[in-house]
């Protein structure tokens, strides 16, 4: 899979926005979900991350509003520096996937999509790990 600096930057931003409060383990897990989706669909990593309604912190404005759309890392943000390192390790294939190949995740406290729950109930999505506040699924 070819990648470029833009894909690295968008992966790092997505990791930071989606999981910066989860520590490095949680950030790594979320980053691997995007990577696993790209591998599974043989798609460009940037396309996977920016696909409509997939990672809400990267969604286009007016689609589904996520307050993270307005949040940007500041110079010297240690968590963003960690996100950039993690993104690079994932892209360079030197990061171990802690999710067991997960292609989806959610924080059950905040994300209660009926369609997601139905996919879990009928076995389309199989639980693989709980890392921090996120539950991870392979589907």
pLDDT in tens, 83-132: 999 999 999 999 999 999 999 999 888 777 888 889 999 999 999 999 99
Domain count, the chain: 1
Lowest mean pLDDT among 1-10, 60-69, 101-110: 60-69
How many CB atoms within 10 Å of residue 34? 26
**Residue-level pLDDT at 58:** 78
Structural domain span for residue 127: 5-138
pLDDT in tens, 15-41: 999 999 999 999 999 999 999 999 999
């Amino acid at each position: 899979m070819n990648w470029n600096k833009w894909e690295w930057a968008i992966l790092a931003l997505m990791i930071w926005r989606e999981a910066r409060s989860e520590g490095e383990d949680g950030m790594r897990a979320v980053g691997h979900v995007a990577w696993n989706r790209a591998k599974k669909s043989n798609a460009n990593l940037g396309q996977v991350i920016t696909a409509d309604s997939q990672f809400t912190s990267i969604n286009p404005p007016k689609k589904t509003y996520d307050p993270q759309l307005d949040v940007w890392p500041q110079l010297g943000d240690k968590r963003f520096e960690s996100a950039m390192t993690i993104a690079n390790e994932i892209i360079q294939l030197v990061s171990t996937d802690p999710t067991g190949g997960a292609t989806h995740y959610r924080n059950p406290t905040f994300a209660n999509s009926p369609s997601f729950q139905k996919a879990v109930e009928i076995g389309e999505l199989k639980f693989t790990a709980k890392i921090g506040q996120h539950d991870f699924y392979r589907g």
